[in-house]
Amino acid sequence: MFQARPSRRQALAAGATTAALLLAGPAAVAGCTASVPGSGGPDPLEGPARRAEADVALAAAVAGTHSTLAAAANALGADRAAHARALRAELHRVHPDPMPSSTVKPPPTVAPAVSPDQAVAQAALTQAMRAAQDEAAELAITLPGYRAALLASVAACCATHTAVLT
Amino acid sequence: MSPRGDREPRGTARQVPVAALQGALAAEHAAVWVYGVAGAFMPATLARRLDEATTAHQARRDATERMLMDAGVPPVPPEPGYLSPEPVTDAASALRLVITAETDAAAAWRSVVERSPADPDVRGAALEALTAAAVRATRWRQTAGTVPLTVPFPGTP
């Protein structure tokens, strides 16, 4: 928004430059990512990806059960779906071949149970967002640059949903 | 600020992403200025939240200056003047300005996360700053009645 306006003041224009440079940054960093596990245990992004997918299902179930929570739950579900897509894209980039079946569980196919009590359902969403934020924040400290930034945004987004819900 | 200087200095000082930190510092300087301007157009009921946001940005600014000085780098000063993207004439335009400032801060801090080494000090502080800016932006969107309240990837364009 600021970036598109030529009348921006100098410091904000400098911010725009940084943002433009960043566009080139992720590819460069990802290209030299050496610490992504290529073998052994599951990729550390597998957990956040599965959690995002589970949150999409939970949000849909809550929205379908409690109309007063539908706006917040649908917005949450949309953001978590975007997280799942981005995380799966990064997983696919590093592991173009399917991972061994022993390390990948199929996603849940049963709709999550939602409490008929609206307050309880709302608390379940909040709890899911806090857990997702914690998981992403922890990985954001240790993973290589591009992945760290991706998870940092995921963590920050989950914090904004907690703020909306509480 | 030169991208080539991003990993300097090496050796004695701790490795910090200098250019990204300077960008974050510039964003914090801007945010402090923005809250000063916006406050004059906001209702008194928002005074406390404005004060808290101002204090948070001042603290972040000071901490960032210390990080840069510890790395042997002179911190960028605030601009002598700032030009807001649109005239601030009422509470609605003031809210848009603070949302923009928080969005800019989030982007700057995400850049620090991406460019800093995997350590809890710089990266942890940057993650905290990114998260705080994103949450404040969402709170101000709630106040402004702007939808959507959230963005999926705070700190990205």
pLDDT tens for A134-163 read: 999 999 999 999 999 999 999 999 999 999
Distance CA B140, CA B95 (A): 7
Contact A159, A76 (CB under 8 A): no
In a domain, A91, yes or no: yes
> What does the pLDDT average to over B5-33?
79
Pick from A37, A41, A21: nearest CA to A29: A21
The confidence band for B1, taking pLDDT boundaries of 50, 70 and 90, is very low
Q: What is the pLDDT of residue A109?
A: 63
Number of domains in chain A: 1
Question: Mind listing the pLDDT tens digit for each residue in A78-119?
Answer: 999 999 999 999 999 999 986 555 555 666 667 789 999 999
Largest CA distance in chain B: 51
Q: What is the pLDDT of residue A66?
A: 97
Q: What is the pLDDT of residue B59?
A: 98
Per domain, the residue ranges of chain B are 16-144
Cβ separation B134–A159 shorter than 8 A: yes
Residue B11 pLDDT > 70, yes or no? no
Peptide bond preceding B9: is omega within 30 degrees of 0, i.e. cis? yes
Residue A141 maps to which CATH number?
A: 1.20.1260
Residue B141 pLDDT > 70, yes or no? yes
Q: What is the pLDDT of residue A18?
A: 41
Question: Mind listing the pLDDT tens digit for each residue in B69-112?
Answer: 999 999 999 998 898 889 999 999 999 999 999 999 999 999 99
Q: What is the pLDDT of residue A105?
A: 61
In a domain, A5, yes or no: no
In a domain, A47, yes or no: yes
| B16-144: CATH, from 1.10.3720.10, 1.20.1260.10, 3.90.1300.10, 3.40.50.300 | 1.20.1260.10
Contact B106, A159 (CB under 8 A): no
Q: Range with the lowest mean pLDDT among A61-70, B101-110, B116-125?
A: B116-125
DSSP for residue A3: T
In a domain, A34, yes or no: no
Could you give the percent of chain B with pLDDT greater than 90? 83
Q: Which residues contact B73 (CB under 8 A, 6 or more apart)?
A: B8, B9, B18, B22
Q: How many CB atoms lie within 10 A of CB A24?
A: 10
Residue A84 corresponds to which tokens in the numbers above?
């799942």
For every residue of A73-90, DSSP letters joined together read: HHHHHHHHHHHHHHHHHH
Mean residue pLDDT of chain B comes to 91
Q: What is the pLDDT of residue A21?
A: 35
Q: What is the pLDDT of residue B68?
A: 96
Mutual angle of helices A118-142 and A70-94, in 10-degree steps: 30
Q: What is the pLDDT of residue A54?
A: 97
Cβ separation B130–A152 shorter than 8 A: yes
Q: What is the pLDDT of residue A97?
A: 81
Residue of B nearest to A146 (CA): B114
> Out of B126, B135, B156, whose CB is closest to A159?
B135
Which of A12, A33, A79, A139 to probe by mutation at the B interface, max B CB count within 10 Å? A12
In a domain, A7, yes or no: no
Q: Range with the lowest mean pLDDT among A18-32, A117-131, B69-83, B136-150?
A: A18-32
Contact B127, B85 (CB under 8 A): no
**Residues spanned by the domain of A155:** 43-165
Q: What is the pLDDT of residue B12?
A: 43
Cβ separation A157–B152 shorter than 8 A: yes
Alpha helix segments (H runs only) across chain B:
18-39, 47-70, 91-115, 122-144
Residue B39 pLDDT > 60, yes or no? yes
